[in-house]
Amino acid sequence: MENALDIKSLLEWYILAGVDETCGDECYQAQSSEVLPASPLRQATTSLSQNVIASKQNARDLCAKATTLSELKQVVENFDGCALKLTAKSTVFGDGNEHAKIMFIGEAPGADEDRIGLPFVGRSGRLLEKMLSAINLKRADVYIANVVMWRPPGNRTPTDAEVAVCLPFLKRQIELISPEIIVFLGGSAANALLDNADSISRLRGRWLEYQTSLKTFIPALATFHPAYLLRNCPQKAKVWSDFLRILKKLKEN
Ligand code: URA
């Protein structure tokens, strides 16, 4: 590194790559099973997806053995098949009422959630709690989870591979909670569980259905993520109408 300009551009590159923390002088290389062979791209890609498929199958097998939420939490905490765990401080499993009628699903833990080890405890979580109280619900009434259980570095969007590996754990939480209603907070959660790529603007505002692995259907509603609302206040009116839909459905059930 020759001069200040080089250092500045290196730091900028780190930030773009999602580095938001340093943990020593030495460069740390993930020692996961996803170390790519120094061979052509096609071969590397195949190797990576095979690892993902194997991790996903392993996650599924582990889930099938977990018959309670606390067993499942233990399984997730011991799971090493998701590379996000290497950079996260905590495993952020779902939290809330195990008998909840309604389950909220976000995308991934942020910095506060990673520090504390619980979902939605930062600014987005405080807004979510206000939204809940607007329909007479408290955090203790509901169950809150995320698609991935570890914070992506720099709060980047989880990759398809990370989502695929974590999804069995989320699906098992849904089975064990067995909520009457699911609310997807943002497009990532809706896309992961509905297995589509529609934008949140297309998905929100109407009842959808989530199909469980037991082939039952749970009414599901997608709405804007609280973090998006913090940046786009005018969209709160749409979320308010979504929450009124939820309230109506809860009263019908
Ligand atoms: N955003 C999420 O999607 N999940 C959290 O837990 C916090 C912020």
Q: Which atom from ligand 1 is nearest to the alpha carbon of 122?
A: 7
Residue 120: CB within 6 Å of ligand 1?
Answer: yes
Tell me if 13 is assigned to some domain. no
Tell me if 27 is assigned to some domain. no
Tell me if 21 is assigned to some domain. no
Residue 107: CB within 6 Å of ligand 1?
Answer: yes
Q: What percent of the chain has pLDDT over 90?
A: 78
Tell me if 116 is assigned to some domain. yes
Residue 13 has a pLDDT of: 57
Kindly report the pTM of this predicted structure. 0.82
Tell me if 30 is assigned to some domain. no
Considering Cα of 178, then 239, then 127, then 124, what sign does the dihedral take?
A: positive
Residue 227: CB within 6 Å of ligand 1?
Answer: yes
Instruction: Name the average pLDDT for the chain.
Output: 88
Tell me if 1 is assigned to some domain. no
State the residue range of the domain holding 159: 47-252
Residue 58 has a pLDDT of: 93
**Shortest CA distance to 82 belongs to which of 177, 9, 175, 153?**
153
Mean pLDDT value across residues 150-163:
97
Between the CA of 139 and the centroid of ligand 1 the distance, in Å, is 14
Tell me if 36 is assigned to some domain. no
The enclosing H or E element of 5 equals: helix 4-16
Residue 113 has a pLDDT of: 98
pLDDT tens-digit series, residues 75-105:
999 999 999 999 999 999 999 999 999 999 9
Between the CA of 142 and the centroid of ligand 1 the distance, in Å, is 15
Number of domains in the chain: 1
| 30 — pLDDT class (breaks 50, 70, 90) | very low
Residue 44 has pLDDT above 60, yes or no: no
pLDDT tens-digit series, residues 102-134:
999 999 999 999 999 999 999 999 999 999 999
Output the domain CATH number for residue 178: 3.40.470.10
Tell me if 2 is assigned to some domain. no
Residue 108: CB within 6 Å of ligand 1?
Answer: yes
Mutational pocket test of ligand 1: of 93, 103, 120, the residue with most ligand atoms within 8 Å of the beta carbon: 120
Residue 24 has pLDDT above 60, yes or no: no
